[in-house]
Amino acid sequence: MAEKRKRVIAKKSIITQKIKEFEKVKMFPVPEFKEEDSDEVPYFKVKMAGLDDQVQALHLSEHSNRLMIRMLEMVKEGKRIDYEDFRKQLYYDDLHPKTIQTCNIFQRCVISPKFKIGEVMRLSETHPDLVNDVASFALGVEEKKENGN
């Protein structure tokens, strides 16, 4: 009778080596802050976000879907939907938790230059794409740009 062999997906040594090679701190180009008389593009030194941030980002991204399912069930049952209540649940009035989380990730993960949370909140008003892009970069979910666009 043939002896059963263990299936190995990857060797522990290979996984350990890949973990050691993984860059925990990366440089993020910030052309928005490039000085007019300089050819040099400034960079933010950004550390990668932790697992807690990953889980919270996933939870917040699913919130609108959970809300829509709840609203569709109300429609199916013939219940009246209060527009103001629906809007508050969807947009959280003035400041959405996803915005707060994005600013927190930006503030914690940008190592250099260091920002205070108030500065990040103001930056999110003036340069929202920058704050979102850096947070996405830290979470490892930045969009891949094709053909240099």
- pTM comes to 0.62
Range in 13-17, 33-37, 91-95 with the lowest mean pLDDT: 91-95
Query: What distance in Å separates the CA atoms of residue 89 and residue 76, rounded to the nearest whole number?
Result: 19
Helices (H), the chain: 12-21, 51-61, 63-76, 83-91, 97-109, 117-126, 128-139
> What is the model's pLDDT at position 46?
92
Q: Is residue 7 part of a domain?
A: no
Q: Is residue 75 part of a domain?
A: yes
> What is the model's pLDDT at position 91?
62
Q: Is residue 85 part of a domain?
A: yes
Asked if residues 109 and 141 have their Cβ atoms less than 8 Å apart, the reply is no
pLDDT tens by residue, 41-82: 889 999 888 888 878 877 777 777 777 788 888 888 888 888
Reduce the DSSP state of residue 95 to 3 states and report it. coil
Q: Is residue 145 part of a domain?
A: no
Question: For residue 143, is pLDDT > 70?
Answer: no
Q: Is residue 125 part of a domain?
A: yes
Provide the token pair at 88: 């508050």
Q: Is residue 1 part of a domain?
A: no
Q: Is residue 6 part of a domain?
A: no
Domain of 130, in residue numbers: 26-32+42-139
> What is the model's pLDDT at position 114?
92
* Residue 116, C-beta contacts closer than 8 angstroms, at least 6 positions apart: 107
Q: Is residue 59 part of a domain?
A: yes
Q: Which residue in 59, 54, 42, 45 sits closest to 105, CA to CA?
A: 54
Query: What distance in Å separates the CA atoms of residue 20 and residue 18, rounded to the nearest whole number?
Result: 5
Number of domains, the chain: 1
Provide the token pair at 46: 């950004």
Torsion of CA 78, 82, 87, 88, to 10 degrees: -120
Average pLDDT, the chain: 80
Q: How many CB atoms lie within 10 A of CB 105?
A: 26
In the structure, what pLDDT confidence band is assigned to residue 147 with cuts at 50, 70 and 90?
very low
